[in-house]
């Protein structure tokens, strides 16, 4: 089975550097198949969120897998409509009930919508009680992190942000490195669209290693010490995506990929106040 490296978080907790993201797996049978194939292929780290609507299925899949709890690394996220101290407390209880787990490995603030400081304070309490092993944020820009860190006790263990060869997040990365916050990449394959898979540089590199473009992109994330969890519901792609630990990109190839930066996001901007306000109106059950 593939030997997935761990990354040590700022509280000494180990996180598998590679896992499975389960956003947009909305059919139960599709979800259960994907998770089972992933477990069979050696995935042990799953990234979900209350917003994805599949925490309950994940809880069921974990039980049915027979895998020991301590072998798994499970992340979930508090949704924008649940910000605030009391709201976050009850959102976390709902998540734990759905997942049917005794503890969560990592809990994130999904987006920096209003009231994230109060949300964080509730998360800090669960963290101190040991019900969450690590707490972190998602879609936080440098100024959000500075604000949060100036008002609270626990430094986030991770920041999960859109990252792929066309949007590499170099400035944020440097800040995260300086502050010992791990970088998690969402949309690591650029959501599988937006021309990344036909990029001529990536294609050339993939041919020289006899790998796919997806594998080259994932390998690039791994060599930058980023944590990745590409999503797929296809058995052969799940197997392909994890098969990235038997080759290495050279310094020259890493430099060529560095030049692909476009400065353009594919998805929402965390500084878009209208998007944050609208999303915070979407209640989830």
Catalytic residues: 52
Report, in Å, the least distance between residue 201 CB and ligand NAP. Answer: 17
Question: Between residue 190 and residue 209, which ones bind ligand NAP under the rule CB under 6 A?
Answer: 190-192
Name the residue nearer to ligand NAP (CB basis): 106 or 214: 214
Contacts of 18 (CB under 8 A, 6+ apart): 4, 5, 43, 45, 218, 222, 227, 228, 229, 242, 244
Question: What is the crossing angle of helices 55-65 and 85-99, to 10°?
Answer: 40
Q: Is residue 54 a contact residue for ligand NAP (CB under 6 A)?
A: no
Strands (E), 177-251: 182-186, 227-228
Using DSSP's 3-state secondary structure scheme, residue 27 falls into coil
Reference 284, options 56, 31, 117; nearest CA is 56
Candidates 83, 144, 183, 237: give the one binding ligand NAP (CB under 6 A): 237
CB of 101 to ligand NAP, least distance (A): 17
Q: At what angle do helices 142-151 and 170-178 cross, to 10 degrees?
A: 20
232 lines the binding site for ligand NAP (CB under 6 A): yes
233 in contact with ligand NAP (CB under 6 A) = yes
Which has the closest alpha carbon to 234: 30, 19, 18? Answer: 30
Query: Among residues 128 and 204, whose Cβ is nearest to ligand NAP?
Result: 204
What's the min distance (Å) between Cβ of 228 and ligand NAP? 8
> What's the closest the beta carbon of residue 230 comes to ligand NAP, in angstroms?
4
Is 47 a residue that touches ligand NAP (CB under 6 A)?
A: yes
Count residues binding ligand NAP (CB under 6 A): 26
Q: Are 189 and 228 in contact (CB under 8 A)?
A: no
Nearer to ligand NAP, 78 or 101 (CB): 78
Binding of ligand NAP by 240 (CB under 6 A): yes
* Residue 177 DSSP SS3: helix
Alpha-carbon gap, residue 227 to 193, rounded angstroms: 20
CB under 6 A: which stretch of 37-45, 126-134, 165-173, 225-233 binds ligand NAP?
Answer: 225-233
The verdict on 23 binding ligand NAP (CB under 6 A) reads: yes
Is residue 22 involved in binding ligand NAP (CB under 6 A)?
A: yes
- 């947009």: which residue's tokens? 24
d(CA 196, CA 53): 28
Smallest gap, in angstroms, from Cβ of residue 35 to ligand NAP?
12
Nearer to ligand NAP, 62 or 189 (CB): 189
Burial 221-248 (b: 16+ CB within 10 A, else e): bbbbebbbbbbbbeeebbbbbbbbbeee
Closer by beta carbon to ligand NAP, 86 or else 105: 105
Residues that bind ligand NAP (CB under 6 A): 21-23, 47, 110, 138-139, 160, 186-192, 212, 214, 229-234, 237, 240-241
């Amino acid at each position: 089975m593939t030997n997935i490296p761990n990354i040590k978080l700022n509280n000494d907790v180990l996180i598998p550097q590679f896992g499975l993201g389960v956003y947009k797996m909305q059919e139960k049978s599709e979800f259960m198949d994907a998770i089972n194939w992933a477990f069979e292929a050696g995935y042990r780290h799953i990234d979900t969120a209350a917003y994805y609507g599949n925490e309950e299925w994940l809880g069921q899949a974990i039980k049915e897998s027979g895998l020991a709890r301590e072998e798994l690394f499970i992340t979930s996220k508090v949704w924008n409509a649940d910000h605030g101290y009391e709201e976050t407390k009850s959102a976390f209880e709902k998540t734990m009930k759905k997942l049917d787990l005794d503890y969560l490995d990592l809990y994130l603030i999904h987006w920096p919508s209003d009231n994230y400081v109060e949300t964080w304070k509730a998360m800090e309490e669960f963290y101190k009680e040991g019900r969450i092993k690590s707490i972190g944020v998602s879609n936080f820009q440098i100024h959000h992190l500075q604000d949060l860190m100036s008002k609270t006790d626990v430094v986030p263990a991770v920041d999960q942000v859109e990252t792929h060869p066309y949007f590499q997040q170099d400035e944020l990365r440097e800040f995260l490195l300086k502050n010992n916050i791990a970088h998690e990449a969402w949309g690591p394959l650029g959501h599988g669209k937006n021309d990344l898979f036909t990029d001529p540089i990536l294609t050339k590199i993939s041919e020289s290693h006899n790998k796919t473009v997806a594998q080259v992109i994932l390998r690039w994330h791994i060599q930058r010490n980023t944590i990745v969890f590409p999503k797929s519901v296809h058995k052969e792609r799940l197997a392909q995506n994890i098969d990235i630990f038997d080759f290495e990109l050279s310094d020259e190839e890493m430099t060529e990929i560095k030049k692909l930066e476009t400065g353009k996001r594919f998805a929402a901007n965390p500084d878009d106040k209208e998007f944050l306000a609208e999303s915070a109106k979407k209640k989830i059950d």
